[in-house]
Amino acid sequence: MSLHPRRRRTKLQWASIALLTVVWVLLWGDLSVANVLGGVAVGILVTVLLPLPPIDFHGRVRPASLLYLFVRFLADLTIATVHVAGLALNLRRVPRGAVVGVQLRNHSDLYLTITAELSTLTPGSLVVEAHRLTGMLYLHVLDIDAYGGADKVRSDTLALEERVLRAFASDSELEEAGLTRRRLLRRRRAEAAA
């Protein structure tokens, strides 16, 4: 393996070229030699002319925490969908929207992106800005009063970030974010008591 960063990055991008080729063939809907060669050419052009910056991932995937993240996201998605539908059908009440800033605990681009995407996919909230260097997310909430206020938005977003970190972050990244095993046990006991 080469220590030269450009050569190392080129080797790693063959997977991207193959994926772009598959997407190209699927978009055209025709598996032919010309389409595959065209997909490879487009894949090479895209990866050479528009290279993505490398994403540093030092964590590990924890299947149980990933499953919990997925199940909890589906539950949040269902509850938010019902809530937004109720707002749409209630013609007497005008929702009061607000933008709330949330300071995340981890400044990794990967975890910030996953947290922002999951927040945006939930109906009733939308990430309007994300600061990479400071780890700050700004979320627009459709109805801040029904949500429970800005503090509830912040606590729910930080809980989502915690689930993302527990699913993907390394032990050292969890410690840097202040998420130790002992804190998780205390939080689960508090949730069970409530």
pLDDT in tens, 120-154: 998 989 999 999 889 999 999 999 988 889 999 99
Positive/negative CA dihedral, 145, 151, 154, 155: negative
- CA neighbor of 150 nearest in space, from 182, 102, 83, 86: 102
CA distances from 151 to 63, 147, 186 (A): 30, 10, 21
Read off the pLDDT of each residue in 151-179 and give the average, rounded to a whole number: 90
- Global pTM? 0.71
What count of other Cβ atoms lies within 10 Å of the Cβ of residue 44? 16
Judge whether residue 10 has pLDDT over 70. no
Model pLDDT for residues 76-126, shown as the tens digit of each residue: 999 999 999 998 898 888 889 999 999 999 888 889 999 999 999 989 899
> Where exactly are the structural domains of the chain?
5-49, 63-193
Mean pLDDT score of the chain = 85
Judge whether residue 194 has pLDDT over 80. no
